[in-house]
Amino acid sequence: MTSNSKLLGAAALAGVLVLTGCTAGSTSSGNASSGDKRTLTFLTFETPNLDAKYWDAAIARASAKVPGVTIKKLVAPSSDRTGYAKQLDSTGQFPDIMIGLNPAGFAQAGKLVEWSDTDLANYAQPRANTYGGKVYQLPFSTQTTLVYYNKSNFAEAGIDAPPRTYAELLDDSAKLKAKGFNPFVVGGGGKDSWADMFPLMCTVASEVYKETPDWLSQRAAGKVKFTDKAFVAAAQKVADLAGKGYIDRAGLSRSYSDTEQAFRDGKGAMYPMGSWFSASADTKKPSFDTGVFAWPTDQGASALPSNTGGGMTVSSKAPDVELAKKWAKAFMEDTENLNAGVKADGLIIDIKGYAAPDDMGPVYKETVAAYRQAQTANGIVHSFSQETGDGSLPPGLADKAAAGVQDLLSGRMTASQFGTYMDEQWDKATR
């Protein structure tokens, strides 16, 4: 997953690297080589699901398969490793290997190595994210946005099944509110402003991307605008949910982790969130049973926002590019690493022949089933603000969108004003 925050200043960067760097497989060294070993820097991030212990174990497994490599781990100060990578690049410290990086900008500038068809032979969707027809990130997993819900709240409100249309979603929200339940848990305060985007991701999927899958490419070509009817309609649905009191405005200041905890604590019946929540729901089960459904469209057709990618990118200036690629593939394709990622972060793996562990919990299994059902129904669409590859938001615009959604949800900005704001931010980002 991604998040956005103000990053540390360049003057503090050297100190940050000293504090976050560590090695796996050999002794620490900042040199390009150490004895007969080659030292490569690896930029990652940490979350409550993917903590230091998880990354160190995964690094060690990959390093055991690639003799001659010493990995120096660099940890981004926030989940925004793309912004941190840009900062490192500006000071001549661009990492050799990175995971979950948004390649936009880096790829076009020649800073990343292309993955060949041979490199991608094991991947189920090898061309999920291309830049000018080339692949710069291993597309090893999918993350999607679903609605996780409190089955007890639904039952008490007399709701016997998840909504199948948007009208039913509104009706269910009214029933929940009448029973004293906050219908939706949504946060996104402080550095976690990205977390407020999930309702809009879902409405853009249904109102915009379902009918026009290449909408952002058309926006880049000047054929459509954010002030057009379809996008404003998507924003209006989100504004209406807050206006009706279905999204608790008081909760918008919560951090990502506090927002998840609020759902766990029963402070809301529905939690629109990335599929990684499924791992948390199964590992640390709330006091209630958690269900899963895809955000419904007006007519009930499938429009599930999803993003496939998330894997390794390699710097074109790495001290040993081929060795860096070999280590990156070893990390991505190691079964134990994949299993650990599935268990820790609810990943839906897109590597041929891979099967998730049999003991995965019910929320994860329902999450995967919802994704597969959308695939079968030809209902997979892009995930607004999370796109990568050709036809994605310009760098930095996702941050601006999240800031605008705060104003949209709080009532400080109308849907039409949000569309105007997004067009203005697009123009600034592409000058």
Domain ranges across the chain: 10-140+308-358, 143-306+365-429
Residue 21 binned pLDDT confidence (cut-offs 50, 70, 90):
very low
pTM of the model: 0.87
Give strand pairing partners of 381. 305
Assigned CATH topology for domain 143-306+365-429: D-Maltodextrin-Binding Protein; domain 2 (3.40.190)
Find all residues with CB under 8 Å of 346, minimum gap 6, and list them. 49, 275, 276, 277, 278, 279, 280, 364, 367
What is the structure's pLDDT at 168? 98
Please state, in angstroms and rounded to a whole number, the distance separating the CA atoms of residues 292 and 263.
14
Bigger pLDDT: 66 or 18?
66
Find all residues with CB under 8 Å of 224, minimum gap 6, and list them. 212, 215, 218, 230, 231
What is the structure's pLDDT at 36? 67
Assigned CATH topology for domain 10-140+308-358: D-Maltodextrin-Binding Protein; domain 2 (3.40.190)
Please state, in angstroms and rounded to a whole number, the distance separating the CA atoms of residues 131 and 41.
24
Indicate if the pLDDT at residue 26 is higher than 80. no
Contact 419, 225 (CB under 8 A): yes
Residue 352 token pair? 């041929």
CB atoms within 10 A of CB 240: 14
Q: What is the pLDDT of residues 323-356, one digit of tens each?
A: 999 999 999 999 999 999 999 999 999 999 999 9
Helix (H) or strand (E) holding 375: helix 362-376
Q: Where are the alpha helices (DSSP H) in 319-361?
A: 321-333, 335-345
Find all residues with CB under 8 Å of 424, minimum gap 6, and list them. none
Q: What is the pLDDT of residues 373-399, one digit of tens each?
A: 999 999 999 999 999 888 899 988 999
Residue 34 binned pLDDT confidence (cut-offs 50, 70, 90):
very low
Indicate if the pLDDT at residue 15 is higher than 50. no
- Tell me whether the CATH fold assigned to 10-140+308-358 matches the one assigned to 143-306+365-429: yes
